[in-house]
Amino acid sequence: MMNVNKLQTFLTLSECLNFTEAAELLYCSQPSVSMQIQRMEDDLGVPLFDRIGKKLYLTKQGEHFKPYAEQIINLLASAKDHIRQLEDLSFGTLSIGASNFVGVYLLPRMLREYTTSFPHIKINMNITSSNHLIHMLETNKVDLLILSDRVRIDETRYQRTTFYQDELVLIVNPDHKLAKQKTCTLADLTNETFILKPNKSATRVYLEDQFQEHGFTPPHYMEISNLEGIKQGVIHNLGVSIVSNFAIQQELKHGLLVKVPVQGIQFLRGISYVYPRNKHFSPAANKFLPLLNQANL
């Protein structure tokens, strides 16, 4: 019969792919790890690992089974947390998955109010790519995601609530010819190099859709995957960019960047929180959601 210890053994071994290392991490013997894996494979009726020479690999069945095992382990941990929090909100963890912009610029200000009200709740914020965030939500590693509404999700499985409208603005170096202008047009940008995130980025897709809608095709692109890197690129006059107004306040204040309104276009994207439709929120998460809904940024 399958039990939690076997699942944990499987997950540990699937990460290190070494019986000796897994035994050390689990504080048990190597034969014990081997026996538990063998019993799991017997229970499931399929091999979970391939042993080729001295190396260990997850089988196709093992790869498919892994997210289910993660989900069970994480759900059990969440259940224990939730039950304890019903009696005492000085205990527990609020786990959030966030995109780069949200996690670095938006959430710290919102979490300040939360940690003031609940100082003993541990905050666990994972900042990573949207694809990885969706996987974390599927396997119960996080309570909810906070990310751009341009990121596609399966709306039959997940509830999405947009709580903030983020304005994207054109930024240039202070010595740029457009820096002295009150506004510009897309035609003024015809010969500019645009510093943008790689083409699979939700923000990049949104901006290119907006350009196409207005009949504009940037002639030159420079790709930088990180928002801080993009800002530094503009500061060092490598090109211009369109980024969140919220994320450039310090640079504007210190005269490192200049924002220039583009006539006839407003670049807006919603920021949403996302969670499974059948999600049972912990008391800690239930106290956080009203802060998002009343966001005053």
**Token digits of residue 97:** 């998955």
How many other C-beta atoms are found inside a 10 Å radius of the C-beta of residue 213?
A: 9
Give the pLDDT confidence score for residue 86 in this predicted structure: 63
Where is average pLDDT lowest: 36-45, 48-57, 71-80, 139-148? 71-80
Q: What is the mean pLDDT of the chain?
A: 88
Q: Rounded to an integer, what distance in angstroms lies between the CA atom of residue 228 and that of residue 44?
A: 47
Q: Which of 33-42, 78-87, 274-283, 287-296 has the highest mean pLDDT?
A: 33-42
User: Residue 208's beta-bridge partner residues?
Assistant: none
pLDDT band at residue 130, thresholds of 50, 70 and 90? confident
| Of the candidate ranges 8-12, 26-30, 79-83, 140-144, the one whose mean pLDDT is the lowest | 79-83
Closest CA to 149 of 297, 274, 291, 294: 274
Residue 238 CA to residue 107 CA, distance in Å, equals 29
As to burial, measured by CB atoms within 10 angstroms (0-12 exposed, 13-18 middle, 19+ buried), residue 223 is middle
Whether the CB-CB separation of 9 and 37 falls below 8 Å is answered with yes
Range among 44-48, 74-78, 129-133 rated most confident? 44-48
Average pLDDT (125-134) is: 88
Q: What is the pLDDT of residue 161?
A: 93
Question: Given pLDDT bands bounded at 50, 70 and 90, which one contains residue 254?
Answer: very high
> pLDDT per residue over 3-60, tens digit each?
888 888 999 999 999 998 998 988 888 899 889 899 888 889 999 999 887 789 899 9
Strand-pair partners of 27: none
Over its C-alpha atoms, the chain yields an Rg (Å, rounded) of 24
Helix (H) / strand (E) element for 150: namely none
pLDDT band at 1 (very low <50, low <70, confident <90, very high): low
The Cα–Cα gap between 157 and 100 comes to 24
* Among 142, 264, 290, CA closest to 210: 264
pLDDT of residue 89 exceeding 60, the answer is no
Q: What is the pTM of this model?
A: 0.67
Q: Which residues pair with 95 in a beta bridge?
A: 124
In this predicted structure, what is the pLDDT of residue 296? Answer: 63
pLDDT tens track for 97-115:
998 889 999 899 889 888 9
- In this structure, of 157-161, 191-195, 198-202, 264-268, the range with the lowest mean pLDDT score is 198-202
